[in-house]
Each structure stands twice: as C-alpha cells, then as structure tokens.
C-alpha cells in the first residue's frame, strides 16, 4: 500500500531507482512494472513480438555464461556494449527478422535484468516500454491492484527516459477511477512526461544514456525505443521466464 492510500483507489507509485525499491515494495500483493526504455524492456517487448517463446532474465554474466555453455542464445550487455563472446547485446533491432521465433533466449543487462530480479516476488511483474504503453495500461487495469512503476535507471541513479514512460503510463491509468491514488513521485513523472511528450527525442537530448547510446552509434535504437504502441504484447515474468501475458 502507498503511504497514505485513500482506500478507494489502487496506489500508483513511481520508484525512480532500484536502490529505492525496498522502500516501495512493502506489500508483495501488487503489480510491478519494470521499465528500462533504453533498452532492456523495449528489447524484451521486441523479442516477444518477434515470436520468441520466452526470455530468461539473469542478473549476472556468470549465469549468462552457464546458459551459453548449455547452448542457449544469450544476450549480454554491460555499459551499453555487447559483452564479448555472447550472441547479442541489448538491441531491440536484433529481433527484427524474427529468426529466433519459437526459441527461449537468455538476457543479462546492466540495469534492466537486475530490476526484474529485484521485483520477482511481486504478485505480477510486467515489462513496460513505450512500444507497449497502451496494452500494459489495459492489462494493469484488469489486474486492479496497487502498482509500482520501477524505473531501472542507471546504476541506481535516476534517469529521464524511464521516468517519462512511468509518467505516460501513470497518466493513462489515472483516467480510470481505480488508479487515482498517485504518489508525489508519480505526479512528478506525469508532469515531466507532459513537458516532454511532443518531442521526447529532443527532450532527452542532454540525457546521459541517450548521449551514451549516441556515442556508440546506436541512434537507430534510440528512435525505435521512443516509438509508441508498436507492440501488442504484454511480457510478464512467470516462473523465472518472461513470456507473453
Ligand atoms: C540496461 O539494462 O542498463 C540497459 O538496457 C542498457 C542498454 O543496453 O542500453
């Protein structure tokens, strides 16, 4: 429950950093939406959309190596770069030709998969990105529970792009009377999203991870990650695997 729930509405709380998650995650009977716009949660949505059967998120490179040795296709990213020896990093564009449809793949990333791991004991863990904004909102409305929007951030620091998505989702949810109990962090995220929504690419021009991705010539990924509602999938965590919900 949120700090001062009205009792009539579910709470919607934005958690700006995984380091703050224990503060928000007092009651496991809630839905946690994990958000890593650049790029983990967008890549997971793209994978599920392309027909990938399941994505196994792992927190460490060591676990990823174990899966690689067992013959899985494994993505591993650290500091936005592909870790040597793995099949891919964290680009949603990796899935565009659908060649891994039907397979179970493995993914470890700097912040996104760590955030998924932290949330795993929640009633439901949902993967959110701009690409599935509308369907995630509808899914949460059907669940009708308190919601934590967990921004993966960058190494426990606040980041803008995850906050913008949290604001977009919270604003949609708040149109439903069952989701009007908005924490201060949620109100702040909504205000930021409204300031940014007409030109998110420009708004994020000086943001740290957008600049990091640009330096690595990943401009196409940035553009992809900011497109709204390309996807109809709601990936959810089920028994350690992310599958279509
Ligand atoms: C992460 O998990 O930190 C990321 O998604 C970073 C990236 O690959 O851009």
Specify if 1 maps to a domain: no
The domain spanning residue 38 has which CATH number?
Answer: 3.90.1560.10
Is the distance from CB of 170 to CB of 189 less than 8 angstroms?
yes
Specify if 77 maps to a domain: yes
Nearest to 230 by CA among 135, 94, 91: 135
From the CA of 116, how far away is ligand 1's center (Å)? 13
Whole domain around residue 60: which residue ranges? 11-237
User: Into how many domains does the chain fold?
Assistant: 1
Nearest atom (ligand 1) to Cα of 221: 9
pLDDT digits (tens, 9 = 90+) for 102-157: 999 999 999 999 999 999 999 999 999 999 999 999 999 999 999 999 999 999 99
Specify if 158 maps to a domain: yes
Residue 110 structure tokens: 């700097």
From the CA of 16, how far away is ligand 1's center (Å)? 16
Specify if 3 maps to a domain: no
pLDDT digits (tens, 9 = 90+) for 90-104: 999 999 999 999 999
Q: Tell me the pLDDT band of 6, cut-offs 50, 70 and 90.
A: low
From the CA of 119, how far away is ligand 1's center (Å)? 17
Q: Which residues does 53 contact at the CB level (< 8 Å), separation at least 6?
A: 102, 103, 104, 243
Task: Indicate the pTM of the whole model.
Answer: 0.95
Q: Is the CB of 39 under 6 A from ligand 1?
A: yes
Question: Does residue 195 register a pLDDT over 80?
Answer: yes
Nearest atom (ligand 1) to Cα of 41: 5
């Amino acid at each position: 429950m949120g700090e001062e729930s009205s009792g009539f509405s579910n709470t919607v709380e934005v958690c700006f950093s995984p380091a703050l998650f224990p503060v928000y995650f007092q009651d496991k009977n809630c839905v946690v939406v994990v958000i890593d716009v650049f790029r983990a949660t967008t890549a997971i949505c793209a994978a599920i959309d392309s027909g990938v059967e399941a994505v196994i998120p792992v927190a460490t490179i060591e676990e990823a190596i174990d899966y690689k040795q067992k013959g899985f296709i494994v993505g591993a990213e650290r500091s936005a770069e592909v870790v040597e020896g793995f099949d891919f990093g964290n680009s949603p564009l990796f899935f565009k030709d659908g060649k891994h449809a039907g397979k179970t793949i493995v993914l470890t990333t700097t912040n996104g998969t760590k955030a998924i791991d932290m949330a795993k004991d929640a009633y439901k863990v949902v993967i959110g990105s701009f690409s599935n904004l509308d369907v995630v909102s509808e899914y949460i409305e059907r669940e009708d529970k308190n919601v934590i929007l967990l921004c993966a951030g960058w190494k426990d620091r606040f980041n803008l792009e995850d906050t913008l998505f949290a604001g977009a989702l919270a604003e949609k949810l708040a149109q439903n009377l069952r989701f009007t109990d908005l924490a201060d962090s949620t109100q702040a995220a909504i205000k930021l999203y409204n300031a940014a929504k007409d030109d998110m690419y420009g708004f994020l021009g000086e943001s740290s991870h957008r600049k990091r991705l640009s330096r690595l010539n990943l401009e196409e990924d940035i553009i992809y990650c900011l497109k709204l509602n390309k996807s109809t999938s709601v990936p959810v965590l089920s028994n350690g695997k992310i599958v279509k919900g």
